[in-house]
Amino acid sequence: MNAIFLALVVIAFTTAALRELRSTDPEERPMADLSEGAVEAAGAAVELALGLVGVMALFLGLMKIAEAGGLLTVLARLLRPLMVRLFPDVPPEHPAMGAMILNFSANILGLGNAATPFGIRAMQELEKLNPHPGTATNAMALFLAINTSSITLLPTGVIALRASLGSEDPAAILPTTLFATLFATVAGITSALVLQRWFRPPAATREIPPGGLDDPDAEADPAGDRRSDADRDTEPGEQPQPMNIEVPAEGYPAWVSILVLLGVLAIIPLTIIYGQAIAPWIIPGLVVGFLTYGVIRGVPVYEVFVEGAKEGFNVALRIIPYLVAILVAVGMLRESGALGMFVGLVGPWTTPFGLPAEALPMALLRPLSGSGAYGIMAGIMQDPATGPDTHVGMLVSTLQGSTETTFYVLAVYFGAIGVKRVRHTLAAALSADAVAVVAAVAIVAWLYL
């Protein structure tokens, strides 16, 4: 992200400087416009974050009720029959299985705060089953491929941003995000399973007992780096936090999981066909649904909601520096004229395929940096010409909700256990990202173009 941020600012400065030196019109002042654009973008970033505080508090408060009511555990039990088939090398009762299930469940609900610590815990447990330390196993590669492409039912952060920017239907991206992430997950699983045949692991360097290495001191880090999770760099909304959630020892019967999966698949065409009629009901339905669920589960809904809202408040404030950095860089790029040049060059090639040039930087930056992509998305939807409910606004919202910061996830998760040889993990994860972009472009073009 350092290189990207610097490159955007330098390109903007260079473009404006060349225009200033070549200009013969005294009324044209590219460098002055560049200065004004940087200051205005910084102020707009803070205003955006402050406007996001209330909506983020609302959604994280509701999700806290769902979490306290055991919804993550319900999802974990539903996923368990599928997981034991996808990961035959992991014993069903091993802690790694439970941590992976909870990670996927948190991602499905859009709970980035919960997903990250579960994911790191899963990698640490998978390392206990690793016969060749320092090299990713097939289970690790498959886990991260699914992690970066996970099916998402509730992209709460994106919905909150759309609502704060005055979208008429903030939840209109639910069907498009579900569609894109479903295809991405299938692509990630398929890529990982196919590629593992070509990327053979080295010979085993240690023997692993059937239950794994239970001794915590056996988690040797070949790189000598055993920093705690809290010491590692994180993206906005993905800060590892301690969770105290019961890991289910067994799942629901397979037929129950199959019925639920078929139900999820059935939701996609229904939301696509009746999406415009359903969209106004989604947010009120979520509020009533989560509160009712909490009451039924015996959750003190008011106190828990307030606790979650506090987290939402902190998340909204924590992203201000990230938004200022990226929106200033993008604002300078826009005022310098460089962004307009880029749009003019690339637009004719990508627009016929449903990917406007305005959205292309978002698609390219998303695998590299969540904060950078979030800032570009916010900047695009703040622009009156490309507001949250236009085709471009819907597309960048869907891209944000259906793709992942792949390089960041791999760096943090593999760094937590000292793995340097990632084998086919990156290829599988990027394949899922590519499919997510194509699926998002296709579904948004079909529905909103």
Tokens at residue 123, please? 């990698």
d(CA 341, CA 358): 11
Domain range for 442: 2-13+29-448
Main-chain phi, psi angles of 357, to 5 degrees: -60, -30
Cα dihedral 392→393→394→398 (10° resolution)? 100
Q: Is 387 inside any structural domain? A: yes
Q: For the chain, what is the domain count?
A: 1
Q: Which of 158, 68, 145, 83 is nearest to 114 (CA)?
A: 68
Per-residue pLDDT of the chain (449 residues), as tens digits, is 577 678 878 988 998 899 888 877 777 888 888 888 888 888 877 876 777 677 678 777 887 887 788 876 777 778 788 888 889 888 877 878 877 887 887 777 776 656 777 788 888 889 988 888 888 999 999 999 998 887 787 787 788 888 888 888 888 888 888 889 989 999 999 999 999 888 876 655 555 555 555 544 444 333 333 333 333 334 444 444 444 455 555 667 777 878 887 877 777 677 666 655 666 676 788 789 889 989 998 999 999 999 888 877 876 777 678 668 777 887 787 788 887 777 677 777 877 878 887 788 777 777 766 666 777 788 888 888 888 888 888 999 998 888 777 877 787 788 878 888 888 998 999 999 999 999 999 998 888 87
Torsion of CA 44, 449, 188, 370, to 10 degrees: 0
Report the candidate in 119, 333, 370 with the shortest Cα–Cα distance to residue 235. Answer: 370
Give me 147's structure tokens: 């992690």
If you count DSSP H runs as helices and E runs as strands, how many of each does the chain have, helices first? Answer: 18, 0
> pLDDT value at position 185?
92
Q: Where are the alpha helices (DSSP H) in 109-248?
A: 112-127, 138-149, 156-164, 174-195
pLDDT recorded at residue 122? 84
The span from the CA of 357 to the CA of 366, in Å, is: 15
Residue 206 has a pLDDT of: 53
Give a yes or no: residue 22 inside a domain: no
pLDDT for 148: 84
Q: What's residue 219's pLDDT?
A: 41
Contact 179, 272 (CB under 8 A): yes
Tokens of 323: 């938004």
Tokens of 218: 């056996």
Dihedral of CA atoms 278, 281, 286, 291 in degrees, nearest 10, equals -140
407 is a domain residue:
yes
23 domain-assigned: no
- Rounded to a whole number of angstroms, the CA Rg of the chain reads 23
Classify residue 212: in a domain, yes or no. yes
Answer yes or no: is 421 within a domain.
yes
298 contact partners, CB below 8 Å, separation of at least 6: none
Specify the DSSP element, H or E, that contains 276. helix 275-296
User: Per the domain annotation, does 19 fall within a domain?
Assistant: no
SS3 268: helix
| Residue 21 belongs to a domain | no
pLDDT at 207: 56
Closest CA to 110 of 49, 173, 54: 173
From CA 392, how far away is CA 389, in angstroms rounded? 8
d(CA 396, CA 74): 31
For 300, phi and psi rounded to 5 degrees?
-70, 90
Length of the chain, please?
449
